[in-house]
């Protein structure tokens, strides 16, 4: 027998799929829904968590639960593409960029091969679809390689990665580590997703021809809208193998 939370989730899912509750519409309060379904508030929240995990509902702090607009798919393209390429160049998405000066600490010292407290600049790039956050990337660059004028409007238009590419030596290697995991509380809050929804996490380390690590990027893509594509170029003719 199905549990009460799944019965409630099924009913709300049906109302959403048939258009009785429309995209962008706020659901009744949790207290009202709990009374309607004659369940406790924790049970009702568990039912909403199921829908949040499916990407159908998002909870906005202080405002309530809303039916999400259909999410746009993201394809993360490996093999040297800049991490903000798929979002910054999509006309239907808008990108916000926040710049922070900070000292190297934790595993950033290892990834960037710098000493603790070395000056860095972090570019926090968040793409938005409609009013909802869509994906995020944190790009870390040694301060001497960052734009002196900050990201500005031109960097947001071009993509931060493209702007940084103009300022650093050519790359010799781009290493990408991809994993599936649950979001941190901070990531879940930033992307307004359930902490039970897995994310695709990519850590990119770019090294120049002199052997210096010049960029580290951490990209987080919600699992309900993300794919990863890696292409390997073979040595025989023009044949390519996709992984």
Other CB atoms within a 10 A radius of the CB of residue 1 amount to: 5
Question: Three-class SS of residue 231?
Answer: strand
Sequential DSSP letters for 32-54: HHHHHHT--HHHHHHHHHHHHHT
- 52 and 91: one domain? no
Domain edge (last residue) among 14, 32, 67? 67
Question: Three-class SS of residue 11?
Answer: helix
**Length of the chain as a residue count:** 243
Domain edge (last residue) among 50, 67, 84? 67
Q: Is 233 left (phi over 0), alpha (psi -120 to 50) or beta?
A: beta
Could you report the per-residue pLDDT of 159-204, keeping only the tens digit for each? 566 666 766 778 889 899 999 999 999 998 898 887 878 899 999 9
Q: Report the CATH number that the domain containing residue 176 is assigned in CATH.
A: 3.40.1410.10
Q: pLDDT band at residue 88, thresholds of 50, 70 and 90?
A: very low
- 95 and 41: one domain? no
- 30 and 140: one domain? no
Q: Do the beta carbons of residue 43 and residue 197 sit within 8 Å?
A: no
Reference 154, options 105, 97, 72, 111; nearest CA is 97
Which of 85 and 189 is assigned the larger pLDDT?
189
- 231 and 147: one domain? yes
- 130 and 52: one domain? no
Contacting residues for 21 by C-beta, under 8 A, at least 6 apart: 12, 15, 27, 67
Q: pLDDT band at residue 61, thresholds of 50, 70 and 90?
A: confident
Domain edge (last residue) among 67, 90, 110? 67
Domain count across the chain:
2
Q: Report the CATH number that the domain containing residue 26 is assigned in CATH.
A: 1.10.10.10
Q: Residue 211: give the domain boundaries.
A: 74-242
Could you report the per-residue pLDDT of 30-40, keeping only the tens digit for each? 999 999 999 99
The number of CA neighbours under 13 Å toward the Cβ of 13 is 15
Q: How far apart are CA 160 and CA 83, in angstroms?
A: 9
Could you report the per-residue pLDDT of 94-151, keeping only the tens digit for each? 888 889 999 999 999 999 999 999 999 999 989 887 777 888 999 999 998 887 655 5
């Amino acid at each position: 027998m199905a549990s009460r939370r799944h019965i409630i989730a099924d009913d709300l899912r049906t109302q959403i799929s048939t258009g009785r509750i429309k995209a962008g519409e706020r659901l009744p309060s949790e207290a009202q829904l709990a009374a309607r379904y004659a369940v406790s508030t924790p049970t009702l929240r568990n039912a909403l968590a199921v829908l949040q995990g499916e990407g159908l509902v998002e909870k906005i702090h202080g405002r309530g639960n809303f039916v999400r607009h259909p999410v746009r798919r993201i394809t993360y393209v490996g093999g040297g593409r800049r991490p903000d390429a798929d979002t910054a160049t999509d006309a239907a998405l808008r990108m916000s960029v926040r710049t922070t000066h900070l000292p190297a600490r934790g595993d950033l010292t290892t990834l960037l091969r710098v000493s603790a407290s070395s000056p860095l600049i972090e570019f926090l790039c968040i793409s938005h679809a409609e009013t909802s956050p869509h994906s995020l990337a944190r790009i870390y660059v040694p301060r001497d390689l960052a734009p002196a004028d900050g990201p500005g409007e031109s960097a947001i238009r071009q993509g931060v990665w493209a702007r940084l590419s103009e300022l650093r030596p050519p790359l010799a290697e781009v290493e990408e580590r991809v994993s599936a995991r649950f979001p941190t509380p901070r990531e879940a809050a930033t992307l307004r997703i359930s902490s039970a929804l897995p994310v695709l996490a990519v850590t990119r380390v770019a090294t120049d021809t002199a052997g210096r690590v010049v960029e580290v990027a951490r990209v987080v893509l919600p699992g309900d809208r993300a794919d990863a594509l890696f292409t390997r170029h073979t040595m025989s003719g023009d044949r390519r193998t996709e992984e």
